[in-house]
Structure 1
Amino acid sequence: MSDIKVFPSKSALIASAQEFIIEKIQDTITQKGICTIALAGGSTPKPIYEAIALKQLPWDKMHIFWGDERYVAPNHPDSNQKMAKEAWLNKVDIPPENIHPMPTTGNNPQEDALKHEQEIRNFFQCPQGFPAFDIILLGMGDDGHTASLFPHTQALKNKENLITVGNKQDSLRLTFSSPLINSSQCVIFLVSGSNKQNALKEVFSKDSNPHEYPSKMIQPQGELIWFLDDDAQGELKINP
Structure 2
Amino acid sequence: MTIIEGADDSAIAAWLAERLEQALGESEGEIAITIPGGSTPFPILAALADRDLDWSRIAVWPGDDRIVAEDHPASNVGRIRAALEPLGARVVALAEDAVPPHFALTWLGMGADGHIASLFPNTDPQVDDPQMLRQLVPDPLPPEAPFARLSLTIPALLNSDALLFVMRGADKRAVFDAAIRGEHDLPVARLLAAAHQPVTCFT
Q: What is the TM-score with the length of structure 2 in the denominator?
A: 0.87
Structure 1 or 2, whichever has the larger Rg, is 1
Q: Distance in 2 between matches of 1:26 and 1:206?
A: 33
Aligned to 2:93: 101
1:63–1:99: 8 Å Cα contact kept in structure 2? yes
Structure 1 CA distance for aligned equivalents of residues 5 and 124 of structure 2: 33
Q: Quote the residue 1:69 is aligned against.
A: 65
Matched, 1:136 2:112: no
Structure 1 residue runs of 4 or more that deviate by more than 3 Å after TM superposition:
154-158
Deviation digits for residues 158-180 of structure 1 (CA, Å, limit 9, x no counterpart): 61011112221353111111111
Residues 152 and 93 (structure 1 numbering): CA distance in 2 closer, same or farther, change over 3 Å? closer
Instruction: Specify the SS of the correspondent of 2:53.
Output: coil
Match of 1:222 in 2: 197
What CA RMSD, in Å, does the superposition of the two structures yield over aligned residues?
1.9
SS in 1 for 2:137: strand
Identity of aligned residues (%): 25
In the other structure, the counterpart of 2:182 is 206
1:177 is aligned, of 147, 153, 165, to: 153
Contact kept, 8 Å, 1:155 with 1:166, in 2: the verdict is: no
> Residue 34 of structure 2 contacts residue 61 of structure 2 at CA under 8 Å; is this kept in 1?
yes
Gaps of 5+ in 2: 142-146
Residue identity matched to 1:78:
A
> What amino acid sits opposite 1:116 in the alignment?
A
What SS is found at the alignment partner of 1:101?
coil
Contact 1:183–1:221 (CA<8 Å) still a contact in 2? no
Equivalent residue, structure 1, for 2:78: 82
> What is the aligned partner in structure 2 of residue 163 from structure 1?
133
Structure with greater helix percent:
1
**1:24-39, aligned counterparts within 5 Å?**
24-33=19-28, 34-39=30-35
Kindly indicate whether residue 80 of structure 2 is the aligned counterpart of residue 60 of structure 1: no
The unaligned stretches of length 5 or more in structure 1 are 104-111, 125-131, 229-240
CA contact under 8 A between 2:125 and 2:187: conserved in structure 1? no
CA distance in 2: counterparts of 1:83 and 1:93, whole angstroms: 15
Deviation (angstroms), 1:191? 0.6
Task: Give the AA of the match of 1:208.
Answer: H
For 1:116, the equivalent position in structure 2 comes to: 98
Tell me if structure 1 keeps the 8 A contact 2:105–2:160: yes
Q: Which amino acid aligns with 1:217?
A: R
Instruction: Count matched residues.
Output: 194
C-alpha distance 191-137 of structure 1, shift in aligned 2 (>3 A):
same
Question: What SS does structure 2 have at the residue aligned with 1:218?
Answer: helix
Residues 72-126 of structure 1, C-alpha deviation per residue, up to 9 Å, x if partnerless?
111110111122222x2243133xxx321113xxxxxxxx2xx113xx3xxx5xx
Contact 1:38 1:67 (C-alpha < 8 Å) held by counterparts: yes
Structure 1 length as normaliser, TM-score? 0.74
